[in-house]
């Protein structure tokens, strides 16, 4: 279910691919059972539900839907999986770039994974993409607090102005998930990857995930 190799091979072969990773914050947002997600940076409100559900339930070739691990996150996994087709071909774990795959993914990046194509980076305004080990052609900044408030504007910018064959890397919390699915639906010739906190040690100059320090406990499913 990991599917990292398939995603990497698609990128290397120039095949557009999209990844939307859903976790506890998205579960709370879809069911309106919480007040904030993204470590308190994203308030939860009703207009988030439609775009997130559309992205979660979209079924399209090369569109990967990342779900929480059944072993170490069973409650969150159940909340997410109640909405999806469990036989969908492109299901994967949400930690597909993280946990046990983190170092492998970074090695691929260092070996030129993103070096030969247009890169758009979508992130909070506090991130510095010039610190990344590859060139970023366009940086779209969204608010560090309530990034989802710019969902429609950001989606339009990505759909209208990303070159064919380009790759959009998104590190903007819950907004990333809605964009990954809904943008790919309209632009299947562009890759949209929800990368989460992968590059925070570079763009924010600090580690923001336990997996970055090797402190996550072993898990047969995802770590």
Q: Which residue has the higher pLDDT, 30 or 223?
A: 30
Which letter does DSSP use for residue 76 in this model?
H
pLDDT of res. 1: 46
The model's pLDDT over 189-212, given as tens digits with 9 standing for 90+, comes to 999 999 999 999 999 999 888 898
Half-sphere exposure of 4 (CA within 13 A, CB side): 19
DSSP E strands in the chain: the ranges are: 18-21, 36-37, 42-43, 63-67, 91-93, 119-124, 138-142, 167-171, 191-194
* Amino acid 2: pLDDT: 58
Say what percent of the chain tops pLDDT 90: 84
Q: Which of 162, 223, 166, 170 lies closest to 195 in space, CA to CA? A: 170
The pLDDT tens digits of the residues spanning 48-58 come to 999 999 999 99
Residue 117 has pLDDT above 70, yes or no: yes
Q: pTM of the predicted model, to two decimals?
A: 0.96
- Nearest residue to 108 via CA among 44, 16, 202, 198: 198
């Amino acid at each position: 279910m990991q599917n990292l190799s398939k995603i990497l091979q698609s990128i290397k072969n120039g095949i557009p691919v999209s990844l939307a990773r859903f976790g506890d914050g998205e579960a709370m947002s879809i069911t309106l059972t919480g007040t904030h997600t993204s470590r308190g940076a994203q308030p939860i409100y009703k207009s988030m539900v439609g775009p997130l559900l559309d992205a979660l339930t979209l079924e399209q070739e090369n569109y990967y839907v990342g779900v929480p691990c059944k072993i170490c996150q069973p409650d969150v996994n159940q909340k997410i999986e109640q909405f999806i087709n469990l036989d969908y071909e492109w299901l994967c774990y949400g930690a597909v770039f993280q946990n046990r795959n983190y170092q492998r993914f970074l090695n691929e990046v260092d070996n030129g994974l993103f070096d030969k194509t247009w890169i758009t980076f979508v992130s909070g305004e506090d991130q510095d993409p010039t610190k990344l080990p590859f060139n970023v052609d366009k940086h779209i900044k969204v608010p560090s607090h309530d990034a989802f408030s710019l969902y429609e504007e950001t989606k339009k910018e990505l759909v209208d102005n990303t070159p064919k064959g380009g790759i959009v890397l998104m590190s903007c919390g819950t907004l990333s998930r809605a964009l990954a699915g809904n943008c790919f639906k309209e632009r299947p010739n562009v890759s949209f990857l929800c990368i989460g906190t992968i590059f925070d040690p570079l763009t924010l100059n600090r580690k923001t995930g336990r997996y970055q320090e090797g402190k996550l406990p072993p898990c047969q499913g995802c770590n």
